[in-house]
């Protein structure tokens, strides 16, 4: 079977800038991908099937028609698909969207066919196009706008999820204001993780406050990350409940992850680099 990595998607920023007449919110987000994620495998078959394994497989036990199967039907390729589920489900780091995107990439490679049209990909979910791109971008609109940004400096992340579910629609409903300022029109060229953190500190995740109101434990997660030596910035990703901390070196990130695992053994914790574009 061939495999495809489905990395965690991290919203370093997430500005909610408006709301369309159809109810969809407009976003302005700096998105990166982390070196931790799920793995999709596939082999040609007469009929489509999916087997889910891995430490987070139980989170998908009740989903008979998840994003992987929907993506496979969109690709129009019959295959025996496996999903090793490492990322928490419904956690603000794009796990399902990353799995769908990896499925599309893998089935296109297996079958020698083109990827589906962007509009069809967007219909799978707002985060699927950015996960299909799989690189650092500025994501705008409802997820369809993907713009290149200056290369980011090397940095490392610690990701923590406290194991609580957060409903994305509920978080948006709890948002006090839908019209907020975007990021600067032109993003700066940043040198070093400290400069990256300083820039991010001037930006926001507008969903953080409403998510914390719904699940106060997110505040504990963010505080635990922010208290770690070497942490340059702690923030929630997406609509939660996963939070991330930014570090300048892998040893500090690894030490922070070990400390949080020891203090909170029931939390999901991972440390990983911010993935850099392939040269």
The residues that are catalytic are: 9, 127
How many other C-beta atoms lie within 10 A of the C-beta of residue 179?
A: 9
CA 58 – CA 187 distance, rounded (Å): 40
| Element of type H or E holding 16 | strand 15-19
Distances (CA, A) of 161 to 59, 104, 171, 245, 278: 14, 27, 16, 12, 28
CA 107 – CA 79 distance, rounded (Å): 8
At which residue do the structure tokens 């090793």 appear?
84
CA 153 – CA 240 distance, rounded (Å): 25
Distances (CA, A) of 264 to 15, 34, 186, 258: 30, 22, 40, 10
At which residue do the structure tokens 């509009």 appear?
119
CA 195 – CA 175 distance, rounded (Å): 29
| Element of type H or E holding 38 | strand 25-44
Contact 4, 131 (CB under 8 A): no
């Amino acid at each position: 079977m061939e495999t495809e990595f489905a990395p965690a998607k991290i919203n370093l920023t997430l500005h909610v800038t408006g709301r369309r007449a159809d109810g969809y919110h407009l976003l302005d987000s700096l998105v990166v991908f982390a070196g931790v994620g799920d793995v999709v495998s596939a082999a040609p078959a007469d009929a489509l099937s999916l087997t889910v394994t891995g430490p987070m497989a139980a989170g998908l036990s009740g989903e008979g028609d998840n994003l992987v199967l929907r993506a496979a039907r969109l690709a129009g390729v019959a295959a025996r698909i496996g999903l090793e589920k490492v990322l928490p489900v419904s956690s603000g780091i794009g796990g399902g969207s990353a799995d769908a995107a990896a499925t599309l990439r893998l089935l296109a490679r297996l079958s020698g066919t083109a990827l589906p049209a962007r509009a069809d990909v967007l219909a799978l979910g707002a985060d699927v196009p950015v996960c299909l791109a799989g690189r650092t971008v500025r994501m705008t609109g409802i997820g369809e706008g993907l713009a290149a940004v200056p290369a980011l400096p090397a940095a490392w992340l610690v990701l923590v999820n406290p194991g609580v579910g957060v409903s994305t629609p509920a978080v948006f409903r709890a948002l006090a204001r839908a019209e907020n300022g975007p990021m600067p029109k032109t993003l700066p060229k940043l040198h070093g993780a400290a400069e990256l953190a300083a820039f991010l500190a001037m930006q926001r995740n507008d969903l953080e406050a409403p998510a914390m109101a719904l699940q106060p434990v997110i505040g504990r997660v963010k505080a635990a990350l922010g208290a770690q030596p070497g942490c340059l910035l702690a923030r929630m990703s997406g609509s939660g409940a996963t939070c991330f901390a930014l570090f300048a070196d892998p040893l500090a990130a690894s030490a922070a992850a070990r400390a949080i695992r020891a203090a909170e053994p029931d939390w999901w914790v991972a440390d990983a680099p911010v993935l850099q574009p392939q040269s």
